[in-house]
Chains A and B, each alone.
Chain A
Amino acid sequence: MKDSPQAHAHGALVLDVMRHAKAERPRPGLADRDRELRRRGRRAAAEVGRFLARVGPPPELVLASSAPRARQTAEIVREAAGSDAPLELADELYLAPVRVYLRALAGVGGAPGHVLLVGHQPDLALLVRELCGTEPAFPTAALARLRLDVERWTALGRGTGRLEWLVTPDVLAGLGAP
């Protein structure tokens, strides 16, 4: 794979899909887009980051909606996972249809083999459903790992992925600390 920076071995692309963690409640004068993480959300994001580090190699790139609750989730996960992967923020991933997510993934730079995507509901459940058929319930800070049967991010489409696992903060609490 090293000598072929554009393409990865068959089925080697991995996409982690994560919903932002728990954010502050909507209130007058605060635009939905500007809501930030609550303390509980920050804790959950850090827990997911530590889980990611335990379960295998960390993502090579983190792509997140630029809305504060998604950006903060991505930053905390990345740090807790001990990852130095570049973080790309995308304005268009706030309240985006599936095709916008697919386009954003197709445009990632550096041909990463493993991307962590941080975004919003209901968009992400629809993206997972498009890629691997399964409709997940997707509470805040849920994380799904998809193995993709394509060699390039530009080839993502309906049915090209398979769900490997899906965890939530409750599940991580059940798994316990290392």
Chain B
Amino acid sequence: MGVSLYILRHAEALPLGPGAAEHAGGDHARVLAPDGRRAARLVGRFLARLGEPPERVLVSSAARARETAELARDAGGWSAPNEPSDALYGATPEKVLDVLRSLEGRPSRVLVVAHQPTLGLLIRAFTGGEPELAPATLAHVELRAEGWRDVGPGGRGERAGRLAWLFDPTLLGARPRGT
């Protein structure tokens, strides 16, 4: 049967301004760039059109991740609320695994909105390989585990899950992307 994990890297954020590190918040408070806001809405519409709305949405507490999740939810129109968590900011993949394992209520589709390199490493832990993960990239990993409690990294030769798809919807936008 298995469970579905959707992984979304926050959209493009504005860099820290000069001296911004001394301001309250620092990196944690960075907000999305205008293109990033557009991308976040695009991702939300895309996920809704796929007919696979998330039942739980776990979000890094960093402003750029929360903003991405809020814009995606507004555009996608799903009902699951965003659940901000400090544990998903600057997290190791093991930490994200802990958060997933402690999920209650047996949701079948969970969306995690967080950061690199955490998410790439998490995909590697599940599928064996680390893909490219540009901002606003959304991935769907099909996990073989029966429930979240049983989710774990694969063993030798045995993958915990398969990558169903991975895409950055802004690739199809009119705007040419930089490198």
**Taking beta carbons and an 8 Å cutoff, which residues of A are in contact with B?**
54-55, 125, 129, 132-137, 142, 147, 162-168, 170-171, 173-176, 178
Give Cα A136–Cα B130 distance, bound, in whole angstroms: 12
- Which residues does chain A contribute within 8 Å of B172, judged by CB atoms? 54-55, 175, 178
Complex Cα spacing A21 to B163, Å: 19
B88 at the interface (CB under 8 A from A): no
Contact yes or no, A168 B164, CB < 8 A: yes
**A147 with B132: CB separation less than 8 A:** yes
Nearest A-chain residue to B47, judged by Cβ: A174
**Bound CA–CA A21/B47 (angstroms):** 23
Interface class of chain B by DSSP: mixed
Quick check: B142 and A137 within 8 Å, CB to CB? yes
A55 and B163 form a contact (CB under 8 A): no
For the complex, give the distance between the alpha carbons of A168 and B172 in Å: 15
> Which residue of chain A lies nearest to B174 when distances are taken between CB atoms in the complex?
A178
Whether B132 lies near A176 (C-beta < 8 A) is: no
Digit string of B130-156 for contact with A (CB within 8 Å is 1, else 0)? 111000010000100000000000000
- Bound Cα distance A101, B131 (Å): 21
Within 8 Å by CB of B163, from A54, A163, A170, lies A163
What is the CB-to-nearest-CB distance from B111 to chain A, in angstroms, rounded to a whole number?
15
Question: Whole-angstrom distance between the alpha carbons of A173 and B47 in the complex?
Answer: 11
11 new A-B contacts at CB < 8 Å, known A129-B129, A137-B162, A178-B172: A133-B128, A134-B124, A135-B128, A136-B164, A142-B165, A162-B131, A162-B132, A165-B166, A166-B163, A174-B50, A175-B46
A166 to B171, CA, bound (A): 12
